Amino acid sequence: MFKRILSCSVCGGDIKDGEEIYAKMEAPSKKVMVEIKAYLKDKSEIICKDCYDK
């Protein structure tokens, strides 16, 4: 498997494993199993904790 890198949509910094994040996203329209990092990267706006706290 390959590693998916998530990045903050505000500052552009890479999200580290285990780091707290905030994601603005729509609820999935279907109940299916998805790979979470892929879904977050494709269907959400990810914000790191530092940018969210500003």
pLDDT in tens, 22-52: 999 887 777 776 788 888 888 899 999 999 9
Does residue 1 surpass a pLDDT of 60? Answer: no
Model confidence band, residue 2 (pLDDT cutoffs 50, 70, 90)? low
Return left, alpha or beta for 12; rule: phi > 0 is left, psi -120 to 50 is alpha, else beta: left
Q: How many CA atoms lie within 13 A of 2 on its CB side?
A: 4
Model confidence band, residue 13 (pLDDT cutoffs 50, 70, 90)? very high
Domain ranges of the chain: 1-54
Q: Whole-model pTM above 0.95?
A: no
Model confidence band, residue 7 (pLDDT cutoffs 50, 70, 90)? very high
